[in-house]
Amino acid sequence: MIYIVAFLGIFHVNWLSYWPELWRGGLMTVEFTAASFAGSVVVGLVLALMRESHVLPIRGLARLYTEIFKNLPLLTEIFIVYFGLASLGIKFDVFEAGSISLIVFYAAYLSEIFRAGLEGVASGQREAAYALGLTDSAVYSRVVLPQAIRLALPGTTTMLVDMLKSTSLLITIAGSELMTVGQLIASQTFRAMEVYFVIGAIYFAMCFPLSQFSIRIERRLAAGTPIAPSRRRIRSEAYSIQLASGGVQ
């Protein structure tokens, strides 16, 4: 009943006059998500490789980072980066602070996902790759990483959708993203229920196709269909190594 009332109430707001603000807020949300996801993937992969290191201090440092930032609320990290560091003379603008906060937070989770993917590759395939004379870099780039990506993809895409929704927390530092725009519209129209109903619908419209696309990619990989034709050579090399290690019956 509440949703029906909210749906009927949206017609009391002149949305055409607020369309430019909503459009800019949506674009800013996408920009935050894209920049933060790219950064968190890079940092998360580095952390995952550090966790695989045979050097104890490197492995311990990566684990310490993961445990600290994985167990801190994202909102706390946003405040530390934007307000806390500013009190020490280290100032970031809103976009930089928001992106850094999301990168630091989600890199910890992605590192665990990537590490699970790396450890999910059978050790016999690595041994077979070394037996064939491949270098360390070739083993990881041609054998381990392609299979680890397949294993880590479901969790990674879930984190992407979650990150897009988490950009709404940047309202606390006036990030100019979608939720901040919604708050401004609600304060001007005094139609909070209707405005946030529409904002929620926009978030759903952004997240749902992304979730469905992720599911489609996962199904293609599960069916053995490569994402791109250029991956066929890598997959054939990995298959040859599986044969050499006895991993394929």
Other Cβ atoms within 10 Å of 144 Cβ, number? 20
pLDDT higher for 125 or 81? Answer: 81
pLDDT higher for 159 or 140? Answer: 159
Write down the residue that tokens 């070739």 correspond to.
Answer: 138
Question: pTM, whole model, 2 decimals?
Answer: 0.80
pLDDT for the residue 145: 80
Average pLDDT on 57-63 reads 93
pLDDT higher for 205 or 228? Answer: 205
Q: How many helices and strands, by DSSP H and E, does the chain display?
A: 12, 0
User: Over 60: is that where the pLDDT of 161 sits?
Assistant: yes
Residue 44, both tokens: 């998360």
In whole angstroms, give the CA distance from residue 91 to residue 127.
Answer: 49
pLDDT for the residue 127: 78
pLDDT for the residue 165: 94
Q: Using alpha carbons, select from 163, 195, 193, 136 the residue that is nearest to residue 33.
A: 163
Interacting residues of 29 by C-beta distance below 8 A, sequence separation 6+: 164, 167, 177, 178, 206
Average pLDDT on 192-204 reads 90
Amino acid at 101: S
pLDDT for the residue 219: 76
Per-residue pLDDT tens over the stretch 139-153? 777 788 878 888 888
pLDDT band at 5 (very low <50, low <70, confident <90, very high): very low
Amino acid at 141: S
Among 74-88, 153-167, 183-197, 222-236, name the one with the lowest average pLDDT. Answer: 222-236
Do residues 74 and 169 make contact, with C-beta atoms less than 8 angstroms apart? Answer: yes
Signed CA dihedral, 146, 147, 149, 150: sign only: positive
Do residues 70 and 109 make contact, with C-beta atoms less than 8 angstroms apart? Answer: yes
Average pLDDT on 33-38 reads 96
Residue 41, both tokens: 């993937």
Among 88-97, 123-132, 157-166, 187-196, name the one with the lowest average pLDDT. Answer: 123-132
For residue 132, give the DSSP letter.
Answer: T
Do residues 246 and 239 make contact, with C-beta atoms less than 8 angstroms apart? Answer: no
In whole angstroms, give the CA distance from residue 26 to residue 35.
Answer: 14
Write down the residue that tokens 């603000």 correspond to.
Answer: 21
User: Over 60: is that where the pLDDT of 21 sits?
Assistant: yes
Do residues 177 and 184 make contact, with C-beta atoms less than 8 angstroms apart? Answer: no
Interacting residues of 246 by C-beta distance below 8 A, sequence separation 6+: 124
Residue 148, both tokens: 């680890």
pLDDT for the residue 118: 83
User: Over 80: is that where the pLDDT of 237 sits?
Assistant: no
Among 138-142, 152-156, 235-239, name the one with the lowest average pLDDT. Answer: 235-239
